Amino acid sequence: MSVKVKKTSQDLAKHPCFNKEAAKSHGRVHLPVAPECNVQCGFCNRDYDCVNESRPGVTSGILSPGQAAWFFDEICESAPISVAGIAGPGDPFADPEPTLQTMRLIKESHPEALLCLSSNGLNILNSVNEIAKIGVSHVTITVNAIDAEIGAKIYSWIKVGKHIFRGKEGANLLLENQLAAIASLKDHGITVKVNSIVIPGINDHHIVDIAKEMAKRGVDLFNCIPMIPVKGAAFQDLEEPSRELIHGIKAEAQKYLPQMKHCQRCRADAAGLIGDKDPDKWSNLMATASSMSIFPKENRPYVAVASREGMLVNQHLGEASSLAVYEKVDGMVKLKERRITPPKGTMDNRWVALANTFKDCRAIIVNGIGQKPRKVLEEQGLKVFQIEGLLSDAVERIYEGKSLAPMICRSRACGEACEGSGGGCS
């Protein structure tokens, strides 16, 4: 039996993205807990560390669900926030659990907040009943083509499980899942907005056809978004569509669906009122959240440490054949066990396997780590801290929720271990 989301007219009136009038007084927070993506679009190149760039897919950090809940709590103390949303920087349903857990935590501490999600629609269908149960009231699905030939020009690949689909086959698969997701969302009483990225010479002539089809599917709102040329993306050399083109497309599309006309193409970590152009306003708070060693209400009881002798944090993750796993029992931190790490020689699969081996750990503490393993581990929800100093101090800080910033050390090459005194970086 499907769950129906109950909404009031007041709820609908306070979502700043779905209601232009609400945007003047109600803010939103995008929580960047979804780094993975299962579709490669020709206009997309996610850059996590560009604080001065304002576009979808960009964030200054990745948060765990617990960090995101803390971040939302803090912002709500300082700004008129009505919506907690997740819009990336990847797709929230490439790995659904961090998304769902974040929504649960927000709903528990802020029952009055509107919950909102944005997805490419490929993998959301199986989670629709759960998001309705949690109380998510608004979902955006990005549909850039309803013709497989056009879709094949937009998407380099579509990933379902371990399988990669390309060309028309991939485009058809994506569209089938998007339409099924929209139908299910509407059946569950969820308000649905469809975004379409306008790509000159690719789908600009096709956007109105998408609007017609989405109207037939019961979609509530339509948003034509001009593509931003991004360095490193397949469409980097295309020109951004002109205002005249976008205005004309919206005028035609409006014959079929109400149009969102105040979209600011927000970052995946946008916060505050729509149109707030101050990129530094929440950056310090985001940095604090992403460096926090406390993960409220997350079911990850242990801490793993790369240490040669069990006293100092002095080992590079790539060189560690095992990690020491600690737990806190009756207020005391104790060594639970040493777990063997996956063997070398399996490339990126080694880091995926390591993430699975230590998935019950709230953090991994190391003295050195490469960019690729860090990215893989954090995509799997494991927070990595690269520090030097006494192992006991670091683990205590984790369990007490204190920052490890005083112990952070510079990046080390593989095999290069700490030679300090255990007192931290000087």
Structure confidence at residue 372 (pLDDT): 84
pLDDT tens readout for residues 270-320:
776 666 665 566 777 777 777 665 554 556 889 999 999 889 999 999 999
Structure confidence at residue 275 (pLDDT): 66
Cβ-contact 102, 65 below 8 angstroms: yes
Structure confidence at residue 263 (pLDDT): 59
Angstrom CA distances, 352 to 178, 213, 332, 355, 404, stand at: 28, 40, 31, 5, 25
Q: Which of 2-11, 213-222, 331-340, 381-390 has the lowest mean pLDDT?
A: 2-11
What is the pLDDT averaged over residues 121-137? 93
Angstrom CA distances, 287 to 383, 398, 399, stand at: 14, 17, 19
Q: What average pLDDT does the structure give for the chain?
A: 82
Domain ranges, ordered by start, for the chain: 9-290, 299-407
Helix H segments across 158-282?
Answer: 167-187, 207-216, 243-253
413 has pLDDT over 50: no
Higher local confidence (pLDDT), 113 or 286: 113
Asked if the peptide bond before residue 89 counts as cis, ω within 30 degrees of 0, the response is: yes
Structure confidence at residue 6 (pLDDT): 64
Distance CA 268, CA 30 (A): 6
Q: Which of 53-57, 93-97, 211-215 has the lowest mean pLDDT?
A: 53-57
What is the pLDDT averaged over residues 196-218? 93
**Percentage above 70 pLDDT, the chain:** 81
What is the pLDDT averaged over residues 328-353? 87
For 389, the 3-state DSSP assignment is strand
**Percentage above 90 pLDDT, the chain:** 38
What is the fold of 299-407?
A: Nucleotidyltransferase; domain 5 (3.30.420)
What is the pLDDT averaged over residues 153-175? 92
pLDDT-based confidence at 345, cuts 50/70/90?
Answer: confident
Structure confidence at residue 19 (pLDDT): 67
Cβ-contact 131, 108 below 8 angstroms: no
Q: Which of 1-10, 114-123, 219-228, 363-372 has the lowest mean pLDDT?
A: 1-10
Contacts of residue 391, defined as CB under 8 A and 6 or more positions apart, other chains included, come to 305, 307, 310, 311, 312, 313, 324, 365
Structure confidence at residue 51 (pLDDT): 44
One DSSP character per residue, 234-252 reads TTTTSPPPPHHHHHHHHHH
> What would the CATH number be for the domain defined by 9-290?
3.20.20.70
Distance CA 390, CA 233 (A): 44
Q: Which of 210-214, 226-230, 305-309 has the lowest mean pLDDT?
A: 226-230
Structure confidence at residue 419 (pLDDT): 44
pLDDT tens readout for residues 135-159:
999 999 999 999 999 999 999 989 9
Q: Which of 265-269, 344-348, 351-355 has the lowest mean pLDDT?
A: 265-269
pLDDT-based confidence at 172, cuts 50/70/90?
Answer: very high
Higher local confidence (pLDDT), 38 or 378: 38
412 has pLDDT over 60: no
Distance CA 194, CA 219 (A): 7
What is the pLDDT averaged over residues 61-78? 83
What is the pLDDT averaged over residues 29-51? 75
Q: What is the pTM of this model?
A: 0.69
